[in-house]
Amino acid sequence: MNWINAIIQGLFLGGLYALFACGLSLMFGVMRIINLAHGDLAVIGAFGVWVVATQAHLSPFIALVPVLPVMLVVGYLLHRTVLARSLRSGPLTPLLTTFGLSIVIQNALLQIFSPDVHSLGSLTGSISTSSWRLTSQLSLPYLGVLTLAVAVLLLGALQLILQRTGFGREMRATAQDPETAALVGVPASSVYARATAIAVATAALAGAFLAIHSTFDPSSGPTQLIFAFEAVVIGGFGSLWGTLLGGIVLGVAQTIGATIDPQYSILAGHLVFLVILASPRGRFIATRSASA
Amino acid sequence: MNGLLQIDNLVARHGLLQAVREVSLSVAEGEVLALVGANGAGKSTLLRTIAGAHPAAGGTIRLDGADITGVPSHRRVARGLALVPEGRKLFPEMTVEENLLVAGRRARPGTWTIDTVLNAFPMLKPLRRKRAANLSGGEQQATSIARALMTNPRVLLVDEVSLGLAPVAVDVVYESLHTLIRGGATLVVVEQDLQRALSVADRVVCMLEGRVVLQSATEAVTREQVTEAYFGLARVNTSSATAERALSERT
């Protein structure tokens, strides 16, 4: 029963990781940028929701409604001002730029919000603590189910947009060959800016769920970035459904590790990541040209 | 002479190499221009520079009188300039239909829609849902031309129409080009096969080492004259003549 429980809890944790990894995967898939500030952008989102929720006495879920559009704009402007410029100077520059951005964001948040640890869990009421009891030893937490459902819906919606809409087709065309996309009239820079906008908004959503799930502070970003990065690599770079699978594999590995011994939790996740990276598939991931 | 597409003293570089040297050209509405020349003559660079995929280092490109030299390539498409790039350059992970739809999304208003394009290229109809990466060379070339048409271009630039295609596929692609020409399209075609080039074009332009060395109406020029220009034989003669003149002046 312990093991089944571990797998189920891992599934829910995986939903959270998939939520984090979604934007990272999208940005890498479309413009080959590994956004090292992704975790910190998520923490900005979490602080945004925290400010709105505490100031206006709203549930964090409602506070997300104004925060997400703001983060869309932030993402759009981030690309137009910083990322577009660094993309022009080669593939390595965005890596350095986002690394710098990560440090700037962490210190700015530290300056504004102090290093205090916050949580949105207490503001959500019973949803973050209640669960469906299946048996005496097995229960499904509301929040876990909600997180996984949101992750599946978000990745599914993005996949649908990529496959079925004109905007999605432009995004895929630009991802495959930006020069040729421009030759059929698709402006790569505006496609990139919109992809970044979506990625940053999904990061904020993930940050809010992290904040409801546990705690956050200005320096929470890098840890989340590592988990998101691992989820993306396990799932295969640039594929959205793969990212969901990667998040779940990572989550399950961590909870199973924790069942063996609590100190193996994070380690087990890293080990799965390393095994995937060392496997023949790892080489495939490194050279693969992403399609979504 | 003021054509629909007017190029004056255009210069394009690959690093230190000057691939296009002060080329001036004019293409009138409804005209079919064949651009011929040996490998490395600068034909592809010229087309890419006209389409905006390669920066111009000097000179001007005008479309219908408006200077588009500094306009990014996606805006040139919106103004009615489309390039079928060398090597087809389809989006490999997308289906034929998706390749066409991507180009049609921001198209200028015009007669070409997914239905009219598929009618002009009937061979593509059964391939609509096939991934572009799985097409044969001829099918890819047809899709690439069809994709460019989806933008409703006023001038269509086609780079290397028949390069790397089986003879049968070349026939099919030329058949569809003939359909376009009968419809009054303005075309600039780069073609290695001289016979083919002369068969479709109203006018032929031969490039050598980045310069235009021959420019003439197709009926006013013989295959031999073009071949001579193609290999630079005429130029060798003139340059040795200049050298002789210089010598005689000195003495």
- How many residues belong to chain A? 292
Helix H or strand E encompassing A244: helix A240-260
Residue A113, in any domain of the structure: yes
In this model, does residue A285 exceed pLDDT 60? no
pLDDT exceeds 70 at position B249: no
CATH number of the domain to which B10 belongs: 3.40.50.300
The amino acid present at A192, given as its one-letter code, is Y
pLDDT confidence tier of residue A290, bands split at 50, 70 and 90: very low
Which has more confidence, A111 or A237? A111
What tens digit of pLDDT does each residue of B118-160 get? 988 888 999 999 999 999 888 899 899 999 999 999 999 999 8
Among the residue ranges A17-21, B61-65, B81-85, B162-166, the one predicted with the least confidence is: B162-166
Residue type, position B88, single letter: R
| Per-residue model confidence as pLDDT tens digits over B166-198 | 888 888 888 888 888 888 889 999 988 888 888
pLDDT, position A288: 44
The b-or-e profile of B1-10 (16+ CB within 10 A means b, else e) is eebbbbbbeb
Q: Give the pLDDT confidence score for residue B177 in this predicted structure.
A: 87
CB contact under 8 A, B91 and A177: yes
Instruction: Please tell me the least confidently modeled range out of A236-240, B29-33, B73-77, B202-206.
Output: A236-240
The 10s digit of each residue's pLDDT in A122-164 is 888 888 788 888 888 888 899 999 999 999 999 999 999 999 9
- On whether residue A65 sits in a domain, the answer given is yes
Burial of A139 (0-12, 13-18, 19+ CB in 10 A): middle
Contact B95, A176 (CB under 8 A): no
SS3 label, residue B80 = coil
Q: Which residues of A touch B53 (CB under 8 A)?
A: 179, 182-183
How sure is the predictor about B96, in pLDDT bands with cuts at 50, 70 and 90? very high
The rounded mean pLDDT for chain A is 90
- Between A112 and A1, residue with greater pLDDT: A112
Per the CB < 8 Å rule, is A182 touching B106?
no
Q: Is 50 exceeded by the pLDDT of residue B56?
A: yes
Compute the mean pLDDT over every residue in chain B, rounded to the nearest whole number.
87
In a domain, A195, yes or no: yes
The percent of residues in chain A predicted with pLDDT above 70, rounded, is 95
- Residue predicted with more confidence, B241 or A229: A229
Q: Which residues contact A47 (CB under 8 A, 6 or more apart)?
A: A109, A112, A113, A118, A216
Q: What values do phi and psi take at B216, rounded to 5?
A: -160, 155
- Which of A184, A187, A188 is nearest residue B102 as measured by Cβ atoms? A184
CB B203 within 8 A of CB B33: yes
In a domain, A227, yes or no: no
**Could you tell me which chain A residue has the CA closest to the CA of B100?**
A184
Short-list A226, A237, A214, A232, CA closest to A270 = A226
Interval A202-223: pLDDT, tens? 999 999 999 999 999 999 999 9
d(CA B35, CA B86): 14
B105–A169 CB contact, under 8 Å: yes
Number of domains in chain B: 1
Distance CA A37, CA B91 (A): 30
Query: Which pLDDT does position A278 carry in this prediction?
Result: 85
Q: What does the pLDDT average to over A64-84?
A: 96
Residue at A193 is within a domain: yes
Q: Does A139 reside within a domain? A: yes
In angstroms, the CA A292 to CA A275 distance is 24
Cα–Cα distance measured from residue B25 to residue B205, given in angstroms and rounded to the nearest whole number: 9
* pLDDT per position as a tens digit, A79-111: 999 999 999 888 889 999 999 999 999 999 999
Name the token pair of B32: 């079919």
Question: Residue B182 half-sphere exposure, CB side, CA atoms within 13 Å?
Answer: 7
Q: Which residues of A fall within a CB distance of 8 Å from B92?
A: 176
DSSP classification of residue B92? T
Strand B203-208 and strand B32-37: pairing? Answer: parallel
Beta strands in A37-147 (DSSP E): 131-133, 139-141
Question: Which member of B90, B93, B151 has the closest CB to residue A185?
Answer: B151
pTM for the full model? 0.87
Give the residue with greater pLDDT, B26 vs B165.
Answer: B26
H or E stretch covering B188: strand B186-190
Is the separation of the CB atoms in B116 and B154 below 8 Å?
A: no
Full residue range of the structural domain in which residue B142 is found: 5-250
Task: Tell me the two tokens of residue B187.
Answer: 């075309």
Which residues of A lie closer than 8 Å to B, measured between beta carbons? 166, 169-170, 172-173, 176-177, 179-188, 291
ipTM of the complex: 0.85
Containing structural domain, residue A193:
2-12+25-218
Q: How far apart are CA A198 and CA A27, in angstroms?
A: 9
Number of domains chain A contains: 1
What is the per-residue pLDDT for A292? 33
Cα B207-B209-B215 angle, rounded to 5 deg: 20
